[in-house]
Amino acid sequence: MIMRRTQTAVLNRPAQQAQAVKLDAKQTLKVIPLGGIEEVGENMTIMEYGDDILVIDMGLGFPDETMPGIDYIIPNTKYLEENKKRIKGVIVTHGHLDHIGAIPYILPKIGDPPIYTMKLTGEFIKKRLDEFHLLGRSKIFELNKDDILTLGNFRIRFFRLNHNIPDSIGLAINSPAGLIVYATDWKFDHTPVDGKPTEFDKLAKFGGEGVALLMSDSTNAEKPGYSMSEKTLGETIDRLLMDAKGRVIFTTFSTLIGRVQQLFDAADKSNRKVVVTGRSLVNSVEICLATGYLKLPAKNMIIKMEQARKLPDNQVVILTTGSQGEEFSALARIARGEHKTIEIKKGDTVIVSASPIPGNERSISSTLSNLARQGAKVLYMKILDIHTSGHAYQEDLKLMIGLTRPKYFMPIHGEYHMLVAHANLARNVGVPEENIFTLDNGQMLELDPSGKVRVSEAKIPTGYVFVDGLGVGDVGEVVLRDRQVMSTDGMFVIIMSLERATGKLAQPPDIISRGFIYMKGSEDLLKEVKHEVRKIVETKSKMKQAEPSWAYIRSEVRDQIGEFLYQRTERRPMILPVVIEV
């Protein structure tokens, strides 16, 4: 095995050197990102002043190829667990999984503090807690965007931002050490589908009050220009649905409600009904219809597949999950011909209205091929502009800095190279380099009321906590390394029944191997291995010892057979020698 793609080890070197500024730690605001600034995902931030702790978001991360078998990653919350009595509340900015997904795992461990968020986000959180049978443990307070929330030393105001899900908010947090503007996952959209643009007036007002620190979204900090309005996609969707002679199968992110709204509107204009499939989309649509975030342009627009079958093809849209080519998503099952009720037919047009999340490119391509093979026409981002990002581009990012005019700046939400790009932008629009802080997860930025700042030498515990099945945190580095070894070259168990008295083999060694080599074609190799094992045991058991050391024999067998197999195959399976004393 030549290791090729799995290179995600992140160099562990503090980005920003701890500074020697002297501050009274009890009189400082501590800003501590727990996740989301060395990766895309698991967003979570702590603000702390005196005895009060404020938590912002609790997101999931998704594993990369160095973490086989892992379902999700959540931030390490040891620090919060140890200080749970001081937590005044959790504020959630919006309803995406990388901001709410870890709530069911973390909330019970930190004393079920109250959650403050906007209506729709609250609904998504409740749905998720319900799935974990945790509903009701924490109180969820519904915010209005003009509310002022006081939690201990913090006085928090909110401002509406645009993003790929409704009800996204930014925070303006007044603390004794100044005003912090926290803006994660945002874009400026002057023509959002829901008619509710960013509250520029509030941003300008905060700027006027004097912002000590701006924390802002770095996802697209490398992309020049402006992000495109969601509404400009509407025309494309209208046209595609109008022009398609057969059925349209449309997939997007399940929480991209603006897009879903535009699909419904387009369906109405082209006289189509909509079938919704895929669990997360069905949930989203249900929640948003019930709360008014999604409005059907006509009655009875949503139909079942059985009804759709009775309609002409050009009166049908199928709205489905699977925009990332996820193996068990509705679209992937449709593409493989494994969906219970939906089959592709010639004349179908499939529209993938989403960007690939890095790492999903191959599975998306494979889904597209399967769809094309069944006769569908496929349209996706490479072919035409059918998606717009929910994250600000460079010019928007500059405008945010221009509006808030922060003294200090911290890029958040992105991989490290994106943070650095954002830091460069900030410098270009006039924030002095020494006022810009690109932190690592767990590092603390401290601000004091006099305006002094430092990156603390202390760092709270961080790192990935892996969720695998029911286990949270029970899979660590050792288990993952073992999985990696076995996944590349398999494993090879050698069982030796040794006589207690003599140390000799009581019977020929047993060998079990999986994932190493096709055993039925390798009888000769196995015979040789058994012969080698016998030689090793005999040599060792001849050594006059008070009693033969099984550990020593195991270690010799592991090394020598490992080497033997490598010579023969250039593979290094995991060798597991077992001694049974008889």
Give residues 182-241 in contact with a copy of itself (rule: CB under 8 A): 222-224
| Run of H or E including 269 | helix 257-269
Measuring CA to CA, which residue among 575, 512, 579 is closest to residue 552?
579
CB of 580 to a copy of itself, least distance (A): 6
Of 252, 297, 292, 293, nearest in space to 276 by CA: 252
* 279 is an interface residue for a copy of itself by CB under 8 A: no
Q: How many CA atoms lie within 13 A of 431 on its CB side?
A: 30
Tell whether residue 295 is a contact of a copy of itself (CB under 8 A). no
Residue 470 binds a copy of itself (CB under 8 A) = yes
Q: How many residues bind a copy of itself (CB under 8 A)?
A: 102
In the residue annotation, 391 being an active-site residue is answered as: yes
Judged by CB under 8 A, which of 86, 495, 528, 558 binds a copy of itself? 495
CA-CA distance, 153 to 343, in Å (whole number)? 58
Work out whether 528 is an interface residue with a copy of itself (CB under 8 A).
Answer: no
Query: Which residue has 């998306």 as its token pair?
Result: 364
Q: Rounded CA gap, 444 and 323, in Å? A: 37
Task: Say whether residue 305 binds a copy of itself (CB under 8 A).
Answer: no
The distance of closest approach from Cβ of residue 1 to a copy of itself in the complex, given in angstroms and rounded to an integer, is 5
For a copy of itself, the binding residue among 144, 358, 434, 523 (CB under 8 A) is: 358
**DSSP 3-state helix, strand, coil percentages of the chain (rounded to 5)?**
35, 25, 45
Binder of a copy of itself out of 215, 275, 475, 536 (CB under 8 A): 475
Q: Which of 150, 369, 502, 555 binds a copy of itself (CB under 8 A)?
A: 369
Answer yes or no: 94 catalytic.
no
Q: Restricting to residues 383-422, which ones interact with a copy of itself according to CB under 8 A? A: 383, 415-417, 419-421
Q: Is 316 exposed, middle or buried (0-12, 13-18, 19+ CB in 10 A)?
A: buried
Q: CA separation (Å) from 19 to 42, 243, 401, 409, 411?
A: 27, 62, 24, 16, 18
Of the candidates 99, 163, 391, 413, the residue annotated as catalytic is 391
- Stretch near a copy of itself under the rule CB under 8 A, chosen from 166-174, 280-288, 366-374, 401-409: 366-374
Among 130, 131, 343, 510, binds a copy of itself (CB under 8 A): 510
From the list 57, 98, 189, 217, the catalytic residue is 217
- DSSP class of residue 31 equals E
Which burial class, exposed, middle or buried, applies to 489 when counting CB atoms under 10 A from its CB (0-12, 13-18, 19+)? buried
Q: Of the listed pieces 121-129, 290-298, 446-454, 469-477, which binds a copy of itself according to CB under 8 A?
A: 469-477
117 sits in which H/E element = strand 115-117
The CA-atom distances, in angstroms, between 204 and each of 316, 401, 407 are: 46, 10, 15
Residue 570 makes contact with a copy of itself by CB under 8 A: yes
Residue appearing with tokens 């033969």:
548
Of 230-249, which residues contact a copy of itself (CB under 8 A)? none
- Residues from 4 through 33 that contact a copy of itself (CB under 8 A): 4-11, 13, 15
Q: What is the contact mask toward a copy of itself in residues 50 to 79, using x (rule: CB under 8 A)?
A: ------------x-xx--xxxx--------
Instruction: Please tell me whether residue 498 binds a copy of itself under the rule CB under 8 A.
Output: no
Closest approach, Cβ 514 to a copy of itself, in A, equals 4
